[in-house]
Amino acid sequence: MDSLFADVRLAMKSLARRPSYAAIAIITLALGIGANTATFSLLRAVVIKPLPYNDASQLVMLWQGDPEAGTTWMARPEVLSYREQVKSFASVDSWTSSAANLTGGGEPERVATTAVTPRLFRTLAVAPARGGAFRSIAAGEAAPPEVMLSHQLWQRRFGGTNDVVGTTIIVNGTARTVWASCRLVLRSR
């Protein structure tokens, strides 16, 4: 232990004699530690940390391969075909993101939207914070005009009131019933 203290004392004396060398050494160490911390944080967030769903290791994302366009989303008929024909999956659901105009109940605004199949939340084993899951529809039926609000939009635009469930809002000119509020589906930009 005495030799360790002697080595540390000698290193401090050497660094004190050459302050520019000490500054370069400290900056190099700081940059190296910072880069390693950033790399590990990114790796943990993307690779190591599991998705926040039950049985996340059982989830699979399917893409369509196109030689000209590369990897693209699957069309709705393909999703329905997988649902009907592939028996190795417990459930096949889909979503697509876009933007919409939200009017009624306040100033018009542009919001990010995600259209989902009615069973997606059951597949992910998540439930809305308020209200209920989307109603299931039979094959060939048109989807009822329902919408879920993100928690942020529900708080900001509708004051976090539970009375919003069951009311009607206008999304891209179409009247839709607010079915629930959730952290996943409709969020403001």
pLDDT at 136: 59
Rounded to an integer, what distance in angstroms lies between the CA atom of residue 180 and that of residue 128?
6
Q: How confident is the model at residue 36 (pLDDT cuts 50, 70, 90)?
A: very high
Residue with tokens 């590369």: 70
Phi, psi (deg, nearest 5) at residue 145 = -75, 75
Q: How many CB atoms lie within 10 A of CB 134?
A: 22
Find the DSSP H helices in the chain.
2-17, 19-43, 76-85, 120-124, 151-158
> What sign does the dihedral 10-16-20-22 (CA atoms) show?
positive
Strands 174-182 and 146-150: parallel
Q: Does 9 or 79 have the greater pLDDT score?
A: 9
Q: What is the pLDDT of residues 117-167, one digit of tens each?
A: 777 878 877 777 777 766 655 555 566 678 888 888 888 888 888 788 888
Sign of CA dihedral 159, 161, 166, 167: negative
Contact 169, 178 (CB under 8 A): yes
Q: What is the pTM of this model?
A: 0.57
The C-alpha atoms of residue 81 and residue 73 are separated, in whole angstroms, by 14
pLDDT higher than threshold 50 for residue 66: yes
Q: Helix, strand, coil: what percent of the chain each, to 5?
A: 40, 25, 35
Q: What is the pLDDT, as a whole number, of residue 184?
A: 41
